[in-house]
Amino acid sequence: MKPAPESVEKLGQYRWVSKLSIQPISPLDGRYRAAVSDLGFHLSEAGLNRARIAVEIEWLIQLANRNLLETNSPISEEKQAELRNIIRNFSDEDVATLAATEATTKHDVKAVEYFIRGKLDQLGLSNLAELTHFACTSEDINNLSYAITVRDAINEVWLPKVQILIGKLRELSAKYAGDAMLSHTHGQPATPSTMGKELAVFIHRLERQIRRIEDADYLGKFSGATGTFSAHVVAAPNVDWLKESEDFVRHLGLTWNPLTTQIESHDWQAELYSAVALFNRILHNLCTDIWSYISMGYFKQIPVAGATGSSTMPHKINPIRFENAESNLELSNAILDSLASTLVTSRLQRDLTDSSSQRNIGLGLGHSLLAIDNVTRGLHEIDLSKVALDSDLSDNWEILGEAIQTVIRAEVAAGRSTISDPYALLKELTRGKRLSGEDMITFVNGLEIGQEAKYRLLQLKPHDYTGLAEELAKRIQAKSLL
């Protein structure tokens, strides 16, 4: 083995003496916890167990109150409330109790079953103990619990943060609807737009994905060990178990999946994560564009009191919100794409590849949520530099070449001009050249076209050559594009 350099050997004298308390490995649970902690209520081990308890309790109530097993032991409204309070009051102490039980059972869902049996004893409902987890495979409980927690995380945490982001984008799009800017197709000066219209493009793109996510289906199965209701039928052959299963899944606010193996096939999860990933990619594109506009001087960054941009260059204000967002969107998609790919495949009637994978749903959505938070904050820290926009437009009169050659073509088509190949004429004038306003006026005055058309071109400036950009920006505000 190659000996360590002397400088490295000397580092041995600094070996750690004190020990830190256990620190989170994921920055989402450490450095960035404040931005994403609300997701933890749903997409954590504790959140999953709370949902499992809810599913088990609701099934127990349905079995008892519909007398499906002829127990003749309906649960009173008072006792139902007490059972549901177990879910509402789920605490750190309960989390610890479950963890201690699982340390013995080595099975998380079995620990939940024993937890509920203990609660039944405390509530004087010991006679219903055998209804707990009746005819269920673990995946009956897990798939419904994941559907509940993911649904609630999306609807109660992720989507509200997205709407705040969209609200800020709408505010800026309306504010800058008429502010002309030089476009840059292929990074080169191009036909002007307005900043409001360019932001409206992203609003339109993002909102299409939001609608897909809002309309997502959250499927659930509740049909036993291999999706056949075999144990159910043997235990109570006269019960309409298909109806009971559908009623139960719908009671939980989910869509019933009648045809499954031991597991719910997770296709809905792949669809959802793919939609979120596409939203992320569009948001990533927004970040790269805003970053580019900042670097071009189109957006000014508003200094934040006390903040430092560089450890050595005091003048700098770095666009870190957008850079941080780009990184987190990429991390989010790495996880979401993996989930969407992995979860749709299960060998024969069941394998466990989904079990570990699904425990990372919170990470995938968490990195997305952190990015959304950063973009929203970043949008509050920029302002449009109209001086920079005006300067670029004033320096690029050659972009009117498109307008001039198009007007000439219209004049030729209408019989008011005999100019041949207007495109080639303007290409010769403008390609690779920097022209002034005077150059363009001189050129237009020499054209053989109708006087009305010539007048329109003589009045045209790069600042005015924005077509319907302002109207498009205003239409996105009124939601009247379609």
Res 145: pLDDT? 97
Res 25: pLDDT? 86
Share of the chain above pLDDT 70, in %: 93
CA 237 to centroid of chain Cα atoms: 46
Angle in degrees, CA 258, 260, 263, rounded to 5? 125
Is residue 417 part of the annotated active site? The answer reads: no
**415's torsion region: left (phi>0), alpha (psi -120 to 50) or beta?**
left
Res 352: pLDDT? 87
pLDDT at 72 over 90: yes
Res 211: pLDDT? 97
Query: Average pLDDT for residues 171-194, to the nearest whole number?
Result: 96
pLDDT at 22 over 80: no
What is the model's pTM? 0.92
pLDDT-based confidence at residue 477 (cuts at 50, 70, 90): confident
User: Is residue 107 classed as helix, strand or coil in its secondary structure?
Assistant: coil
Catalytic residue among 91, 126, 295, 310: 310
Res 23: pLDDT? 79
Per-residue model confidence as pLDDT tens digits over 332-360: 999 999 999 999 999 999 998 888 899 99
Catalytic residue among 186, 311, 315, 480: 186
Query: Average pLDDT for residues 133-139, to the nearest whole number?
Result: 97
The structure tokens listed for 33 are: 């916890």
Q: Identify which of 166, 154, 363 has the alpha carbon closest to the alpha carbon of residue 272.
A: 154
Res 310: pLDDT? 60
Residues contacting 61, CB < 8 A, separation 6+: 75, 80, 83
User: If you average pLDDT over every residue of the chain, what do you get?
Assistant: 93
Strand 255-256 to 219-220 pairing: parallel
How far apart are alpha carbons 404 and 335 in whole angstroms? 50
The values of phi and psi at residue 178, to 5°, are -105, 10
How far apart are alpha carbons 43 and 363 in whole angstroms? 9
pLDDT at 11 over 90: no
Contact status, residue 125 vs residue 74, Cβ threshold 8 Å: no
Query: Average pLDDT for residues 66-73, to the nearest whole number?
Result: 96
pLDDT at 13 over 70: no
The values of phi and psi at residue 183, to 5°, are -80, 165
CATH superfamily of 139-301+317-385: Fumarase/aspartase (Central domain) (1.20.200.10)
**38-136 with 139-301+317-385: one CATH topology?**
no
Architecture label for domain 38-136:
Orthogonal Bundle (1.10)
- Sequence spans of domains, the chain: 38-136, 139-301+317-385, 397-473
pLDDT-based confidence at residue 361 (cuts at 50, 70, 90): very high
b/e map of 17-27 (b: 16 or more CB within 10 Å)? Answer: eeeeeeeeeee
Q: Identify which of 86, 88, 167, 218 has the alpha carbon closest to the alpha carbon of residue 376.
A: 167
Is residue 310 part of the annotated active site? The answer reads: yes
- Give CATH for domain 397-473: 1.10.40.30
pLDDT-based confidence at residue 482 (cuts at 50, 70, 90): very low
> How buried is residue 84: exposed, middle or buried, by Cβ count under 10 Å (0-12/13-18/19+)?
middle
Q: Identify which of 170, 165, 273 has the alpha carbon closest to the alpha carbon of residue 218.
A: 273
Query: Average pLDDT for residues 35-49, to the nearest whole number?
Result: 95
Angle in degrees, CA 451, 453, 456, rounded to 5? 110
